[in-house]
A and B are shown apart, each in its own frame.
Chain A
Amino acid sequence: MSIIKTFDVVIIGAGGAGLRAAVEIPKEYSCAVLSKVFPPRSHTGTAQGGVCAALGNMEEDSPENHVFDTIKGSDYLGDQDKIEIMCYDAVRAIIELEHMGLPFSRNAEGKIAQRKFGGHTKPVDPNEPFGKRVPVDRACYSADRTGHVMLQTLYENCIKNSVNFFSEYFVTEIIIENGICKGVVAFDISTGEIIIFHSKVVMVATGGYGRVYRITSNAHVGTGDGTALIYNAGLPLEDMEFYQFHPTGLWRLGILVSEAARGEGGILKNKDGERFMARYAPSVMDLAPRDMVSRAIITEIREGRGIKGSDGTDYVFLDVSHLGKKIIDEKLPEITGFARTYLGVEPTKEPIPIQPTAHYAMGGIPTNENCEVFLNETGDIVKGLYAAGECACVSVHGANRLGTNSLLDLVVFGRRGGKAINKFLQSVELSGINRDAADKSKYAMQNILEKSGNEKVYAIRTELQESMMDFCGIFRNENDLKKMVDKIKELKEKYKNISVQDKGKIFNTDLVEALELDNLISNAESTVYGALNRKESRGAHDREDFPARDDVNWLKHTFISKNGGQEPVIKYKPVTITKYQPMERKY
């Protein structure tokens, strides 16, 4: 029998989304925030460039411009009613962060400073919204440490509110019975003890799963545990085939060089020194959305205009040297520091070698605008279950997220989720839970510890990451995706024969990595099957064998769910369109 702890609310994840929700839960309710790392170590802290809102502090701008950009950026797959909610709430959300203490960079009047970011534009003539558009200063920032100070600020506000943290607790299961969520099973990494957190409400805020790819900007802990747990609980995931590659990761390492570098005037160049984006997106050039820039880079490389690196892989250049040392040191200190430390490149003098890096999951756990999780594509919800942040799919990012819209998503929907939870708590009783609710997790963990197979976690993970790069990356086709489907089946078999060396209870990171690998494989599965199924190219999902967007057949969300041992089942949900009918997406 396991220890049971009881709370009104359990939040899994202490990144921006989880912390923003936690701030919203009033003191009269007991709330536990579980995180597999100390809260300020969460991945939100790595975000660099900014968080957007049409404050209009630098120039004229409007929330409606932001709405249109987000819809167009999403390649019309985003739900327009949700996008309206987010963009119209953005101004309030950013001001709230400032009031909470976030140290923003400021403009000459002492207001929050803003800069340009890919895909954020406004019409040259306000009366011609569909006419020519130019980049606009919409990203609010704090040098290039926006996510870091946002995470700090939210963590500080949680301390002020005496939020109950369970740091270095690893969640292994979300308990859902008959459409009602009853809590989670977790283990205390430092002791190995398994605990049932019995609660009226669970919010999943576990972040992204970039670690399914070999080259990624995501932290080692970015294994998408929450999406995998939901999938394994038999619930659907939405639009998993849409995975964003950020154009500018440091070559070989994938460490992100924020779009802020281009927002401040940085330029992409091929081996001939040509500003190649002028050919792909004549009006906004280097500030085109990420899917387009990533494809442009790979096309340059495929056509022989990349630069060959020492290990045989190719890169192109991101040049910021012409911005001058003052701007670089003041506005881009952190990212230029990475280039210096890790590649030995001096960005004030020479261009930075970059390559696209796996960055952001547009898909995830389907929710409505109040973060309530959908049980199915017809709109029923799971009682007591909420999700927010990168692990969720509202969907505001559709087929391609615009830079700075994720941090915004975290605070807008983290807060909305928190508010919805408060309301829900007013009328709900704690439902009964089986005392053996932790047994499944317990056996699974014991099983891993006792196994003596000769497959290694590290080797399987590397194989998964390499093959995802090769077969389910920026450009996809049926042949490759089928290979990846087979690869996943093969790796699942191999996983059954793993063994870990560490058999102890205390701080067993060997065990944690094994559990995370299981989650990575699940996330790869939902991504690949979604990608194989979707026979069109839209946003970040590019099928070489179906190069055009197909609104007649595919303007719809994928809902994929597990089907016992069989192939996953795919169903669909229509896209909500309010004002903007799909148009050709040109920049």
Chain B
Amino acid sequence: MQIQVRILRYNPEKDSKPFYQDFTLPDVSPDWRLLDVLHEIKWKYDGTLTFRRSCAHGICGSDGMKVNGKNRLACSILLKDLNMNNPILIEPLPAMPIIKDLVVDMTGFFQKYEVVKPYLITKTPPPSDHERLQSNEDAEKLFESAKCILCGCCTSSCPSTWTNENYIGPAALLKAYRFVFDTRDEGADERLDIIDNPDGIWRCHTIFNCIETCPKEINITWHLSQLKKRISTREM
């Protein structure tokens, strides 16, 4: 089948500002991933088209982009699941500086992630010759948050991020949850101190954009609400 694609292009070496370019692909299959379409364009039509990708099956987090108005992974959408009446609109993730075409600068995103101390903090030394014990139930409480592939789709879809660039954002907060609720961790207080401020968790007004966009279907706001509860009980 034939499809139309409209892509936001920007090459800082040539273009004064971003512009839309249309491509018509005469022969694609509805089973194709959107990533296959981008490759088709890059390999057969325009080698300058620039995007990140690696795993091609939704696990490395490279190819977050805005597709028909919603942040998604290009490798995790099939053409048959998209509305084909209009050209497929592909833009870079919003609220991050564009480096070139669909590649955005994620430096700020990773800095915020590092702020929440994304590693196990312990004071008690672990047992010398075996693992720490944890019930499977407690372990599973972490799994949904540990699924996060740091694609940035959530944070760049969050209206609070758009209006306040200091907001730490859902992905970093989700990471805070991952450790605060780990029964093995002893750094909850340090971490809660970091996120318990106006640019921290309280900027989240539960607008749910993040959940709608997360390609790993993580219920981000539920996790954030657990953090909010934890902070409130800590203060009491």
Contacts and interface: CB of A to CB of B under 8 A. Distances in A.
Nearest to A256: B57
Contacts of A104: 131, 139
Given A103-B182, A106-B136, A458-B44, A342 B146 contact: no
Q: 8 tightest A-B contacts by CB?
A: A101-B120, A501-B47, A110-B133, A458-B43, A156-B119, A106-B136, A98-B131, A502-B48
Contacts of A38: 62, 106, 110, 150
B132 A159 contact: no
Contact of A107 (B43, B120, B136): B136
Contacts of A436: none
A456 B43 contact: yes
Contact of B114 (A37, A98, A100, A159): A159
A64 to B, nearest CB: 18
A219 interface: yes
Interface in B99-113: 99-100, 103, 106, 110
5 contacts: A143-B143, A159-B114, A219-B60, A220-B54, A220-B55
B13 A504 contact: yes
Interface of A: 37-38, 40-43, 45-46, 94-95, 98-101, 103-113, 142-143, 145, 148-149, 152, 156-157, 159-160, 190, 219-221, 253, 255, 334, 338, 341-342, 456-458, 500-502, 504-510
Contacts of B50: 502, 507-509
A554 to B, nearest CB: 36
Given A104-B139, A142-B146, A506 B131 contact: no
A255 B227 CA distance: 36
Interface string B118-151: 1110000010011111111011101100110110
A505 B114 CA distance: 29
Given A98-B132, A101-B119, A157-B119, 7 more contacts: A40-B60, A41-B62, A42-B60, A46-B59, A112-B131, A338-B57, A341-B76
Nearest to A514: B47
A149 B146 contact: yes
B129 A95 contact: yes
B6 interface: no
A515 B35 CA distance: 21
Given A103-B146, A149-B146, A507-B103, A160 B136 contact: no
A103 B177 CA distance: 13
Interface centre among A338, A500, A510 (most CB of B within 10 A): A510
A509 B133 CA distance: 46
Contacts of B46: 501
Interface in B44-98: 44, 46-48, 50-62, 76, 78
B140 to A, nearest CB: 8
A41 B13 contact: no
B108 to A, nearest CB: 13
Nearest to A509: B50
Contact of A500 (B47, B53, B100): B47
Nearest to A156: B119
B11 interface: yes
Contacts of B228: none
B62 A37 contact: yes
Nearest to A57: B131
A502 B46 CA distance: 9
Contact of A101 (B51, B55, B184): B184
Contacts of B150: 38, 40
B146 A145 contact: yes
Contacts of B106: 38
A101 B182 contact: yes
A456 B118 CA distance: 43
Contacts of B147: 145, 148
Contacts of B131: 94-95, 98-99, 104, 111-112
Nearest to B48: A502
Interface residues of B, number: 58
B18 interface: no
Contacts of A145: 143, 146-147
B223 to A, nearest CB: 14
Chain B CB count within 10 A is highest, among A41, A113, A505, for: A41
B198 interface: no
* Listed residue (B48, B119, B140) with the most chain A CB atoms within 10 angstroms of its CB: B119
A342 B78 contact: yes
A112 B136 CA distance: 9
B78 A341 contact: yes
Given A38-B106, A41-B54, A148 B149 contact: yes
A341 B135 CA distance: 32
A159 B119 contact: yes
A506 B13 contact: yes
B153 to A, nearest CB: 14
Contact of B54 (A37, A149, A458): A37
Contacts of B48: 501-502, 504, 510
Contact of B139 (A94, A103, A190, A457): A103
Contacts of A43: 54-55, 60
A508 to B, nearest CB: 8
Contact of B134 (A110, A338, A342, A505): A110
A106 B54 CA distance: 31
A456 B44 CA distance: 9
Given A501-B46, A501-B48, A505-B13, A221 B136 contact: no
A253 B136 CA distance: 34
B179 to A, nearest CB: 8
A502 B101 CA distance: 13
Nearest to A48: B59
A113 B136 contact: yes
Contacts of B129: 95
Nearest to B44: A458
Contacts of A457: 43
A105 B47 CA distance: 44
B118 A106 contact: no
Nearest to A152: B146
Contact of A510 (B12, B47, B62): B47
B96 to A, nearest CB: 13
B99 A507 contact: yes
Contacts of A109: 133
Contacts of A111: 130-131, 133
Interface in B181-212: 182, 184-185
Contacts of A219: 54-56, 60
Among B12, B43, B78, B135, the most chain A Cβ lie within 10 Å of the Cβ of B43
Contacts of B53: 220
A211 to B, nearest CB: 11
A110 B182 CA distance: 14
Contacts of A160: 117, 119
A306 to B, nearest CB: 20
Given A156-B119, A458-B44, A502-B47, A507 B100 contact: yes
Given A40-B61, A156-B119, A103 B99 contact: no
B28 to A, nearest CB: 14
A506 B15 CA distance: 13
A142 B182 CA distance: 14
- The interface centre, meaning the residue of B12, B50, B185 with most chain A CB atoms within 10 A of its CB, is B50
Contacts of A45: 55, 59-60, 149
Contact of A46 (B12, B60, B120): B60
